[in-house]
């Protein structure tokens, strides 16, 4: 990774119209403050277990739970994301965070990356060009700021720890559709009180079994894609695949233009 310098300009862009990935505990706190939280689901085809030395696959494995789509083994990754249009509800008129000392880890980390396999690229960030100068941020591939690094370590630990709760949460809410990974996300937006009650019940139950890391037994998931060729390919290998349906209680965020059946 190239060396980078960075000084936040306090432009506030990262506090506007973004989806903030939250830990389970952060999602509960966000909902209690009256904020909105959605689920973003993706399915990763997992026909065979990767080699132990495949660190990137093992990273994904630790942050997903096993399931099946038809006869195709998959792993399901679920994000809990705070959603808001325009300014974050916690952003003050002076562009300062109103919950600074309790702000989510992702806010403490931005613009650095949590995923160790994603290279930080200024072009992919909302920060203005003049932010990328000044204080040394990365040297020899290492973040200089130990507090940011500690937040990244916490976020990585939480995303692995939260997997069991997310598996149980999906079962409790009847969430069973996911987008094909790297093509987009299926989103669920339950009513806030329903989601908070389900999260509280699931998290409390799992915390009672603090050292029980078993996941929910594999259940059947539907893999959603807006690309006809993807649906055909998945179906040919035994998956339950379909294009996004307007009759279901989910949304679809695709990274690519839809290709309908001809």
Residue 131: CB minimum distance to ligand SF4, A:
4
Q: Round to whole Å and give the CA distance between 56 and 59.
A: 5
CB of 90 to ligand SF4, least distance (A): 4
Please identify which residue in 69, 90, 187, 202 interacts with ligand SF4, judged by CB under 6 A.
90
CB 4 within 8 A of CB 120: yes
Would the CA dihedral through 44, 218, 187, 12 be positive or negative? negative
Contact status: 12 vs ligand SF4 (CB under 6 A): yes
Considering only residues 79, 81, 112, 131, which one is a binding residue for ligand SF4 as defined by CB under 6 A?
131
**Closest-CA residue to 44 (of 82, 75, 87):** 75
Structure tokens at 38: 């959605």
If one asks whether residue 81 binds ligand SF4 (CB under 6 A), the answer comes out as no
Residue placing its CB nearer to ligand SF4 in the complex, 155 or 206 = 155
Q: What DSSP string runs through 35-100?
A: -EEEEEEEEEE-SSPPPTT-HHHHHHHHTSEEEEETTEEEEEEEEEEEE-SSB-TTB-TTS-BTTG
Q: Considering the complex, state which of residue 90 and residue 226 has its C-beta at the smaller distance from ligand SF4.
A: 90
* Smallest gap from residue 16 Cβ to ligand SF4 (A): 8
Spell out the residues 6+ positions from residue 3 whose beta carbon is closer than 8 angstroms to its own: 136, 138, 139, 140
Buried b vs exposed e over 245-257: b needs ≥16 C-beta within 10 Å? eeeeebebebeee
Nearer to ligand SF4, 14 or 160 (CB): 14
Residue of 29, 57, 97, 242 that binds ligand SF4 (CB under 6 A): 97
- Report the residue number, 20 or 180, with the smaller CB distance to ligand SF4: 20
To ligand SF4, the closest distance from the beta carbon of 128 in angstroms equals: 6
Query: Contact between 160 and ligand SF4 (CB under 6 A)?
Result: no
Question: Minimum distance from CB of 93 to ligand SF4 (Å)?
Answer: 12
Q: Which residues bind ligand SF4 (CB under 6 A)?
A: 8-15, 20, 88, 90-91, 97, 99, 103-104, 107, 110-111, 126-127, 131
């Amino acid at each position: 990774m190239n060396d980078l310098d960075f000084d936040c300009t306090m432009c506030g862009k990262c506090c506007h119209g973004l989806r903030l990935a939250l830990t389970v505990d952060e999602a509960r706190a966000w909902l209690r403050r009256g904020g909105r939280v959605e689920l973003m689901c993706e399915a990763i085809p997992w026909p065979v277990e990767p080699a132990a030395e495949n660190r990137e696959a093992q990273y994904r494995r630790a942050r997903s739970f096993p399931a099946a789509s038809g006869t195709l083994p998959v792993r399901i990754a679920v994000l809990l994301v705070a959603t808001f249009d325009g300014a974050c509800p916690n952003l003050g008129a002076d562009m300062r965070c109103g919950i600074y000392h309790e702000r989510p880890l992702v806010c403490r980390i931005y613009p650095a990356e949590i995923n160790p396999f994603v290279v930080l690229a200024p072009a992919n960030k909302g920060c203005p060009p003049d932010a990328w100068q000044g204080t040394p941020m990365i040297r020899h591939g290492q973040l200089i700021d130990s507090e940011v690094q500690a937040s990244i370590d916490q976020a990585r630990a939480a995303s692995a720890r939260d997997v069991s709760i997310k598996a149980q949460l999906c079962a409790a809410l009847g969430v069973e559709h996911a987008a094909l990974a790297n093509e987009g996300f299926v989103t669920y937006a339950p009513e806030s009180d329903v989601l908070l009650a389900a999260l509280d019940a699931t998290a409390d139950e799992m915390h009672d079994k603090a050292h029980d890391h078993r996941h929910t037994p594999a259940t059947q998931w539907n893999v959603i894609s807006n690309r006809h060729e993807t649906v055909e390919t998945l179906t040919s290998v035994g998956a339950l695949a379909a294009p996004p349906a307007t009759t279901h209680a989910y949304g679809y965020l695709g990274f690519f233009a839809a290709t309908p059946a001809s």
